[in-house]
């Protein structure tokens, strides 16, 4: 009976030791988890929190910019993807053997001279674009909040097949502005004033 008692006490001690070592590991990994979670949250506030649903597909998640003329996305491209992005003010493609994550921008801005310019930036590079001058520029800036804007990923994560062509950003004159827009802009810019596409057929009109 005495030997059994001693063996059971040994087992108790062994279990206590296992708990102590495990407790230290759990505490250390818990602290590290807190630190990493805080860092992740801080970064996600800047870059957006993109959760991959299918690593073989392209993902677009719109980001909040605080500027109605500035559109941004957190983007994931699968490996060996050859994306092409094209529009009136941008034409860029690139290739990467590895999966790529990036932030893309389309930003319109009024200049001191009263013009409307744009800057489009994706992994293929950044391009400045001239949009309008004088009365047309003034019209666009004054009515910007009335334009119909469709931004992919704005209502949630957009998951796109790599051979699919989609519109990333489309800006359309609403019905009540079309008559006036037709007097200011060439016919091909009314009603769809701006469109930026992604995909193999992006460059096709």
Binding stretches for another protein (CB under 8 A): 1, 3-4, 7-8, 11-12, 15-16, 18-19, 22-23, 25-26, 29-30, 32-33, 36-37, 39-40, 42-44, 46-47, 65, 70, 72, 74, 101-103, 105, 107, 109, 112, 117, 119, 121, 126, 128
In whole angstroms, the minimum distance from the beta carbon of 150 to another protein comes to 20
Shortest reach from residue 75's CB to another protein, in Å: 10
| Min separation Cβ 21 and another protein, Å | 8
Least distance CB 89 / another protein (angstroms) = 11
Where residue 47 falls (left for φ over 0; alpha for ψ -120 to 50; beta otherwise) is alpha
Least distance from another protein to the Cβ atom of residue 26, Å: 4
Entry field: residues in the chain: 205
Query: Rg of the chain's alpha carbons, rounded to an integer?
Result: 27
DSSP letters along 90-124, please? EEEE--BSS-EEEEEEEEEEE-TTS-EEEEEEETT
- Between helix 135-142 and helix 175-184 the angle, nearest 10°, is 160
**Structural contact between residues 120 and 127, judged by C-beta atoms closer than 8 angstroms:** yes
**Which of 44, 174 has the CB closer to another protein?**
44
Read off the tokens for 146.
């009335």
116 neighbors 131 (Cβ within 8 angstroms): yes
- Minimum CB–partner distance for residue 128 and another protein (Å): 4
Sheet holding 84-87, edge to edge: 90-93, 84-87, 192-198, 166-172, 148-151
* Cβ closest to another protein, residue 1 vs residue 186: 1
């Amino acid at each position: 009976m005495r030997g059994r008692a001693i063996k059971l006490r040994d087992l108790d001690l062994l279990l206590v030791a296992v708990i102590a070592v495990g407790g230290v590991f759990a505490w250390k990994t818990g602290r590290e988890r807190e630190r990493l979670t805080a860092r992740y949250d801080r970064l996600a506030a800047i870059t957006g929190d993109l959760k991959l649903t299918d690593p073989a597909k392209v993902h677009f998640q719109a980001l909040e910019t605080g500027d109605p003329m500035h559109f941004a996305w957190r983007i994931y491209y699968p490996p060996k993807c050859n994306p092409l992005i094209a529009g009136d003010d941008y034409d860029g493609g690139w290739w990467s053997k590895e999966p790529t994550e990036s932030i893309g921008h389309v930003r319109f801005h009024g200049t001191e001279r009263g013009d409307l310019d744009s800057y489009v930036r994706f992994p293929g590079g950044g391009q400045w674009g001239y949009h309008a001058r004088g009365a047309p520029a003034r019209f666009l800036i004054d009515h910007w909040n009335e334009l119909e804007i469709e931004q992919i990923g704005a209502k949630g994560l957009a998951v796109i097949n790599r051979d699919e062509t989609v519109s990333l950003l489309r800006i359309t004159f609403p019905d009540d502005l079309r008559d006036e827009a037709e007097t200011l802009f060439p016919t091909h810019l009314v009603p769809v004033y701006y469109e930026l596409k992604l995909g193999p057929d992006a460059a096709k009109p």
